[in-house]
């Protein structure tokens, strides 16, 4: 079974620029999560999808972050405009349903100059 795919692996941008991350969950997984992991800390949930609907986006900075999951499969997370404090690893995870363990991708390491 193919794992959670994320791209790109690394991204370097200047502050105030925009950036987008892509995630392809494990086939058949209805639940998809985006996390932000700042260096030396645990992951923090940004947004959770169930199929193509949002379950929880309470910690998503909606003035600059947006996410979508068209057709309930792939998902994109966008930051516009980026700030220095957005430097982090952005992790995507999926699970078959909310009660099952999450499977994580390799993450995208974002550096803001």
Partner 1 sequence: AQTVTQSQPEMSVQEAETVTLSCTYDTSESDYYLFWYKQPPSRQMILVIRQEAYKQQNATENRFSVNFQKAAKSFSLKISDSQLGDAAMYFCAYPPPGSSNTGKLIFGQGTTLQVKP
Residues forming the site for partner 1 (CB under 8 A): 3, 31, 33, 40-45, 48, 55-56, 91, 93, 95, 97-107
Closest CB to partner 1 among 36 and 82?
A: 36
How crowded is residue 97: how many other Cβ atoms within 10 Å of its Cβ? Answer: 9
Pick the closest to residue 30 from 76, 67, 73 (CA basis).
Answer: 73
Least distance in Å: CB of 23 to partner 1? 13
Which is closer to partner 1, CB of 18 or CB of 38? 38
> What is the C-alpha to C-alpha distance for residues 54 and 40, in angstroms, rounded to an integer?
28
Kindly state the smallest distance separating residue 35's Cβ from partner 1, in Å. Answer: 8
Three-class DSSP category at 61? coil
- Closest approach, Cβ 59 to partner 1, in A, equals 10
Phi/psi of residue 106, nearest 5 degrees? -75, -15
Q: Which is nearer to partner 1, 22 or 104 (CB)?
A: 104
Longest Cα–Cα distance in the chain: 39
Phi–psi pair at 72, nearest 5 degrees: 70, 20
CB of 81 to partner 1, least distance (A): 27
Give 80 or 100: the residue with its C-beta nearer to partner 1: 100
């Amino acid at each position: 079974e193919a794992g959670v795919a994320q791209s790109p692996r690394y991204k370097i941008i200047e502050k105030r620029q925009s950036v987008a991350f892509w995630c392809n969950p494990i086939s058949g997984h209805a639940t998809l999560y985006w996390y932000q992991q700042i260096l030396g800390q645990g992951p923090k949930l940004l947004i959770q999808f169930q199929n193509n609907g949002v379950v929880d986006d309470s910690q998503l900075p909606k003035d600059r972050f947006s996410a979508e999951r068209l057709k309930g499969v792939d998902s994109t997370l966008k930051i516009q405009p980026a700030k220095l404090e957005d430097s982090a690893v952005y992790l995507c995870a999926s699970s078959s349903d909310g009660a099952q363990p999450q499977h994580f991708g390799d993450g995208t390491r974002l550096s803001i100059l």
